[in-house]
Amino acid sequence: MEEAQRSLLLSSAARFPPPEGARLSYGTAGFRADASLLRSTVFRAGILAALRALKTRSVIGLMITASHNKVSDNGVKISDPSGEMLSQDWEPFADSLAAAPTADRLLEVVAEFAGLQRIEFDGGKVEVLVGRDTRPSGPSLLEAAKLGIGSIIGAVAVDVGILTTPQLHWMVRASNRSTQASEFDYLEQLSRSFRLVSWCLMDLIPGGSESNKKNDKLVVDGANGVGGEKLLVLKEMLNLKDLEIEVWNSGREGGVLNEGVGADFVQKEKVVPSGFGLQDVGIRCASLDGDADRLVYFTVPSYSNKIELVDGDKILSLFAVFIKEQLSILNKEAGASTEDGYQPRIGIVQTAYANGASTDYLKQLGLEVVLTPTGVKYLHHKATQYDIGIYFEANGHGTILFSEPFLHWLDAKNSELSSVAEGCSEQQKAASRLLAVSKLINPAVGDALSGMLLVEAILQYEGWSIHRWSQLYHDLPSKQLKVKVADRTAVVTANAETEVVKPPGIQEAINAETAKYPKGRCFIRPSGTEDVIRVYAEASTQDAADSLANSVAQLVDKFLGHSSS
């Protein structure tokens, strides 16, 4: 490392000493905490992003957001060149950067890691796209991030403004694929792709479908965040005739971000979000979270404030049903997959938090279902191993990944079918639909806006109301608790967090308790951000699920010695 680089890092770092007593860890959500504690961490995340850009010689993204957290929180996370999350290999380095107590130690950490990674400080220009959500702490943290990026010679911070998290990931991916990558380009692709999907899907509506004319209205809860604002812009670009979209809690009305609104609130509390009422009874409703990377649907009943929730598991199931149906049509006649020996492989990726009824339903469809540990980085990575990988968490974060070999095969198959058939065959229509879907869905990360448009297109194609969709299967009653402990690392899990290997004996005790309940299922896992152990339980009735969760929480207390739920 040249002296000029060392001097610049030292002088910049001296301006951002870490707060005393705060030790942050880079997890699935990046760094996240009360915004007042984050200037040093965000500055150092800027250094991290700049070094990642130097290492990969690619455009990297840095997003300042705390997603569904309360408005006083904030956070920062890095997007890799493909638009995916930061490589897990770099997470320990992120932790070391954040924890360095002095500027001198920070310089040592950077120098040691740069040496191991063979990062060349040659002055070559690299860019980091920096976005933020609508939190009031954003501008201050933005400046810290830009100074961190600028402390690496050759790295340039490009302020791309207020964005949803999926927009930033999409822009990073597009930049590295040498395609148009502005926010307008993102919105234009969504609107263009939705029109294409709608045209392809409506070209052949299945016989016997319910008429959807009475279900042509969607009311969206924008969580008083950036997603609601962007949806209003997208709505104008879509210029829809067959679908009316209304946006409540767009942020323009003065509501508080994520307070009594948003996908996280709706999914966890299962109550009507602020701003919704009797005028929305029976209408199809959707809810975004604070940075618009989560999506859930719901209906408002007339008799209480408890909603009828259609969560991420049901969104996954809708997508899986549709894609399986299209592949079946494509392969129906003459064996489209057997002629060339190519059998597209679909993988459904869930975590242990997925409702057991959804997993059973998907398996009954003949689909391959696999579990990963909790965290989008695990789900996304696993989904890349399939020709078509579909992943969603119950909280509404997920997407569909189409492999490049599959898309090349599908495109060739579409061309082949169009050349040999008189008119448009059923197989060619199925191929066209799948190609259209691949252009609409965001392949970089879960995206509430693109996911919502795909849901709407599929519901219209199937002729389904939200009530028909919700009846695909019936969720098993479930209960989640968290138990405070002195040291969450005392619990070690295996098999996608479904089994506890430490402390000894607790898994056997959980198994014995679970066996007392019909359709019982229960697991525990340590939180990634706080000293609590999370408990998840399912059973045939809500009372049984509550009882099982409470019993296992007591076991956690017994084995770990200190708790309050």
- The residue written with tokens 């997925």 in the block is 354
27/95 Cα distance (integer angstroms): 9
3-state secondary structure of 158: strand
Which among 478, 480, 484, 479 has a CA at the least distance from the CA of 533? 484
Catalytic, 302? Answer no
Closest CA to 294 of 205, 223, 161, 398: 398
Place of tokens 């107590």: 101
Asked if pLDDT for residue 19 goes beyond 70, the answer is: yes
Contact 466, 215 (CB under 8 A): yes
CATH no. for 478-560: 3.30.310.50
Residue 136's CB is within 10 A of a number of other CB atoms, namely 11
What's the whole-model pTM score? 0.93
pLDDT, position 188: 96
Instruction: Give the 3-state secondary structure of 453-506.
Output: HHHHHHHHHHCCCHHHHHCCCCCCCEEEEEEECCCHHHCEEECCCCEEEECCCH
Q: Are 188-310 and 313-424+435-443 in the same CATH fold?
A: yes
Say which CATH topology domain 188-310 has.
Answer: Alpha-D-Glucose-1,6-Bisphosphate; Chain A, domain 3 (3.40.120)
Mind listing the pLDDT tens digit for each residue in 34-48?
999 999 999 999 999
User: Helix, strand, coil proportions of the chain in percent (round to 5)?
Assistant: 45, 20, 35
Looking at the domain covering 3-162, what would its CATH class be? Answer: alpha beta
**pLDDT, position 417:** 85
pLDDT of residue 212: 46
Residue 125: its pLDDT value, please? Answer: 94
Alpha-carbon dihedral sign for residues 90, 92, 97, 102 = negative
Residue 3 pLDDT > 50, yes or no?
yes
Catalytic member of 7, 11, 25, 67:
67
Is residue 497 scored above 80 in pLDDT?
yes
pLDDT tens-place string over residues 293-332: 999 999 999 888 899 999 999 999 999 999 999 999 988 7
d(CA 520, CA 267): 22
Annotated binding site: 67, 289, 291, 293, 393-395, 525-529, 534
pLDDT, tens digit, 9 for 90 and up, residues 499-554: 999 999 999 999 999 999 999 999 999 987 678 999 999 999 999 999 999 999 99
Rounded to the nearest 5°, which phi and psi values hold at 28?
-55, -35
Tell me the CA distances in angstroms from 36 to 32, 40, 74, 94, one per residue in order.
11, 10, 9, 19
Tens-place pLDDT, residues 221-239: 999 999 999 999 999 999 8
In sign, the C-alpha dihedral spanning 490, 492, 497, 500 is: negative
* Binding residue numbers for substrate: 393-395, 525-529, 534
Q: CATH for 313-424+435-443, among 1.20.1250, 1.10.3470, 3.30.70, 3.40.120? A: 3.40.120
Q: Tell me the Ramachandran region of residue 54: left when phi exceeds 0, alpha when psi lies from -120 to 50, beta otherwise.
A: alpha
Residue owning tokens 């063979």: 118
Per-domain residue ranges of the chain: 3-162, 188-310, 313-424+435-443, 478-560
Mean pLDDT, to the nearest integer, of 145-172? 97
Residue 423's pLDDT is 58
For the stretch 325-370, pLDDT in tens is 999 998 875 444 445 667 899 999 999 999 999 999 999 999 999 9
Read off the pLDDT band of 465 (50, 70, 90): very high
Among the listed residues 225, 349, 356, 205, the one whose alpha carbon sits nearest the alpha carbon of residue 288: 225
From the annotation, which residues make up the binding site for Mg(2+)? Answer: 67, 289, 291, 293
